[in-house]
Chains A and B, each alone.
Chain A
Amino acid sequence: MMSTNMVPILDLNPLPAPYWVFKVLLLVTFFLHLLAMNAMLGGAVLAVMAHFTGKDRTHGNRVFLDVAKKIPSLLPATVTLGIAPLLFLQVIYGQFFYTSSVIMAWPWFSVLVMLTIAYYGFYYVSYRGGKDPGRAGWVMLVSTLLVTFIGFIYSNNMTLSMDPNHWAAKYFAHPNGLNLNLSEPTLFPRYLHFFVAAIAVGGLLLVFMALANWKRDNDYARRLLYFGGKTFTFATMAQFVVGILFLMALPREMIMLFMGGSPLASGLMLFSIVASGIAIMVMSKAVRTGNIKVAAVQVPAIIAIVIAAMVVMRDILRDAYLKPYFHPEQFTVKTQWTVLPLFLLLFVAGVVLWIVMMRRFFKAKSVSAS
């Protein structure tokens, strides 16, 4: 059936700033979203693991509850940091994103329902987990499965949005929105790539918690470092296999992008592989020697840079997929000079206020309020 002419035309309002401004904002905010999302999802998965595996139940439950208590803060961070990239995505890739969303409307809409249930589940575990850890474990499992599945739906939508050739067949088969993108060969490896990354970052979350407990309860902290560090190491090693599967699942011309076709893409991939390898070695040594500072500072720093590189690689891949349909030159630009500076000003002020809030909160000495 029809292919390129299925891509909706742009609406007639110009971009209110140059294209690159939105691209930068999209990538930067998506990077921040990924950090929070990885910590939330990975943390939730590790909390479930701590609850259901291991022989030392007392320790397992303690880790479970400690991690679970972080989720009600990490989830709103994920959501609020997710809004911005979703906004900027719509500004420049709206034609593709809205269409794929409508084609898989029900799964996409169900994200809201699942997220709400998962969110309340996480709060339940956070507030009631200590009183009834048995039930809390199951609630945590359900909530974690829900957010895991939400990620899968996102992967479906993002891959479908890049593939206008398959839109018509899916839409006309089920115009009621009951579609996914399961026929996409890269879907599962791509999703797995994200999921395993989340597990690795979840491991880093445990390492941070080890750092916070290092002086207060060193024995517990060392066990957290061990669990978190090992998880990070294994997950990142697994990523080499998953990454290769993902790469091999891509169309040939996309593979070539990472094999020298695009110097930037190839360089970033090489860098990511090497940096991840270094992170694995550094973390292994830090776990062995109990060097919490290295585990909680150096490794996360390397991984943050790797994630940033991944965000750029993902963007290069998207633009390669959309090349036949999407040309940034298609946008007319009329910068809203009366609003853009206001946004930048408020953004900077917002960041300052956010830092002030964090400092005031965490520097405050505990008092009893009531």
Chain B
Amino acid sequence: MNYPVWDLSVGAGLLIAIVAILHVFVSHFAVGSGLFLVVTERKARRDNDPALLGWVKKHTKFFVLVSVVFGAISGVGIWFTIGLISPQATSNLIHIYVWGWAIEWVFFFLEITAGLLYLYGWDKLEPKLHMWFGWVYFWNAWLSLVVINGIITFMLTSGNWGKDQQFWTGFFNPTYFPSLLFRTAIALALAGVYALITASVLKDTALKARIVRWAAAWTIPALIVLPAIGWWYIKRIPADIWANARGPMPTATTYAGLAVLLIGAALLLALVTVLMPKRMNLAVSLLLLLISLGAMGSFEMVRESLRKPYVISNYLYSNSLYSATLPGDGGFSEDEVSANGALKSAHWVVNKEITPANELDAGHEVFRVECQSCHTQNAYRGIRKLIAQRQWDEAKIEAMTGGLNFMHNGVMPAFAGTDQERVALAKYLSSLEPITTEATNASVDGATVFARNCAMCHQVTPADPLFTNLVRDPAAAADALQSLPALFPVMPDLKLTAQQRAAVVQWINAQRGPGGPAYSAQAANTEGAK
């Protein structure tokens, strides 16, 4: 609202995910390879192994072309992209952590210089001096991770920073050390994974087997410890955040499971490679690379998912509104925008007042300033598809947008704005995928009614209020569902038909079982609930 919103049809979240995942996949390789190269060079020199040394030299060239070029540019790329997508968050982070970034820049500058001189030095420098450049490269590369890790983890778990707003309080936050260890292990593993690519194409089979075995063995310790560090990492995340990360949509737990699976697959492949190094070829090495990319991407998605609805934890929401009213916030906190109106608060809208004539346009602008940092119309997290899946008519959209912060375990911030703006938003969203009231009311199957009307907030678990609080008597329960806000004031007024209410009550009772425990494990599994 303070800054213009880039109307990016493919999705802001998708763009940053692509840029960020590709970058981290290369930058971690860049860190780990510093150690891998210099240790392998030392081994080759100590063993007086010119063939191995020749390969390390060739691999250095590959390493520079991937890390110094793509790694460096994509790193700047993340910075460009977050500035375009979340300027408010970037501005905050820059002001809080500019000295952190400045320190990282010093390490980065030394890292790039040392990396290039290590490459150029192969034909020029004495072995000892050459390896010295390798060590300078590695330590500076790792130290740049040491610094940037503080800023990334601050965004996820700001810890006590909210209390004292001190640089180091936020920097050494609860997930700082597990994340540093986790990323270091990833960096080491990736060094071996990338090395397999250049090793796999060697023509000398004996040499290839030796290097493949060395590179694959290099990855194994890191791959083994990764899940354990991951467990520590999760333990350092506030329990309520982790508990809320579970559920049926692709959440942090889904990605964490995927990450563990892919790390397991990589480990298995690495073990097989150690046993049968001659079988390694380019295709298999690229498969391992892809698996690693999947694991790395999943890990980053865990972090991204856990952070929601914030972009800086407990401070700034994804839609750039401050979560609490603070002195100097310019009126851009959730409460202030709710009180004053989104359109009146936003600098970058044309429609300041809503009239019958501009309601649709105004609704579009509300969507842009409130929702578009995560959602698109038709692409990534596309609203149109979500509406079609749920068959929501305009009235239902309007009702549902009143409780966004309750949906999907609170991954979204609440709608901030006036009721009139919410009505305009509903009108606009409905115009993307017009659903008639007849269509909304057409579903009479209990499971479908539940999925389309209740599942965004309620879980099929014994602890969920829906299962603990709703009366068992079918008629009384159906009657109670007639006015949801009367049941609980924050619930949306959904206006289910009598038939729908009866069906959903029947379905809910079926999940609870007749008079038994108020919960069916089978249903929980099929719904993917807690």
Contacts and interface: CB of A to CB of B under 8 A. Distances in A.
A201 B133 CA distance: 30
Interface string A59-101: 0000000000000010010011101101110110011011101
B57 A369 contact: yes
A260 interface: no
A115 interface: yes
Contact of B94 (A76, A87, A103, A361): A87
B368 A175 contact: yes
Interface string A298-332: 00000000000000000000000000000000001
Given A112-B76, A350-B110, A367-B126, A338 B121 contact: no
A346 interface: yes
Interface stretch (B327-335, B381-389, B462-470): B327-335
A271 interface: no
26 contacts: A8-B3, A8-B88, A11-B92, A12-B327, A15-B95, A22-B98, A87-B102, A91-B95, A91-B98, A97-B83, A102-B5, A116-B70, A119-B73, A171-B4, A172-B350, A176-B9, A177-B84, A342-B99, A350-B109, A354-B113, A360-B132, A367-B124, A367-B126, A369-B57, A370-B53, A370-B54
Given A98-B87, A98-B91, A99-B87, A369 B125 contact: yes
A217 B528 CA distance: 75
A103 B329 CA distance: 23
B229 to A, nearest CB: 27
Nearest to B99: A339
B12 to A, nearest CB: 10
B295 to A, nearest CB: 24
A88 B91 CA distance: 11
Contacts of A73: 116
A342 B150 CA distance: 15
A232 interface: no
Given A25-B102, A123-B69, A369-B121, 15 more contacts: A5-B347, A12-B326, A12-B328, A13-B96, A83-B108, A84-B102, A176-B7, A346-B103, A346-B106, A357-B114, A357-B136, A360-B132, A361-B120, A361-B121, A370-B57
A343 interface: yes
Most buried by A among B87, B102, B348: B102
Interface in B370-396: none
Given A338-B166, A342-B99, A354 B328 contact: no
Interface string B326-354: 11111010000000000000011010000
Nearest 7 Cβ contacts at the A-B interface:
A98-B87, A13-B95, A12-B328, A9-B330, A175-B7, A350-B106, A339-B99
Interface residues of B, number: 81
B6 interface: yes
B116 A76 contact: yes
Contacts of B121: 361, 364, 369
Contact of B83 (A16, A98, A366): A98
Interface of A: 1-2, 5-6, 8-17, 22, 25, 73, 76, 79-81, 83-84, 86-88, 90-91, 94-95, 97-99, 101-103, 105, 108-109, 111-112, 115-116, 119-120, 123, 167, 171-172, 175-177, 332, 336, 338-340, 342-343, 346-347, 350, 353-354, 357, 360-361, 364, 366-370
B228 interface: no
A99 B88 CA distance: 10
Contacts, number: 217
Given A176-B9, A364-B126, A366-B123, A171 B330 contact: no
Interface string B50-65: 1001100100000001
A175 B69 contact: no
Contacts of A9: 2, 330, 332
B298 to A, nearest CB: 24
Contacts of B326: 12
B65 A123 contact: yes
B101 interface: yes
Most buried by A among B8, B73, B330: B73
Interface in B1-55: 2-9, 15, 19, 50, 53-54
B112 A80 contact: yes
Contacts of B113: 354, 357
B100 interface: yes
A184 to B, nearest CB: 18
Given A16-B98, A83-B108, A98-B87, A176 B92 contact: no
Interface string B128-160: 011011001000000000000000000000000
Given A80-B112, A90-B90, A354-B109, A101 B83 contact: yes
B214 interface: no
Nearest to B171: A339
Most buried by A among B110, B132, B166: B110
A108 B80 contact: yes
Contact of A177 (B2, B8, B101): B8
Contacts of A361: 117, 120-121, 124-125, 133
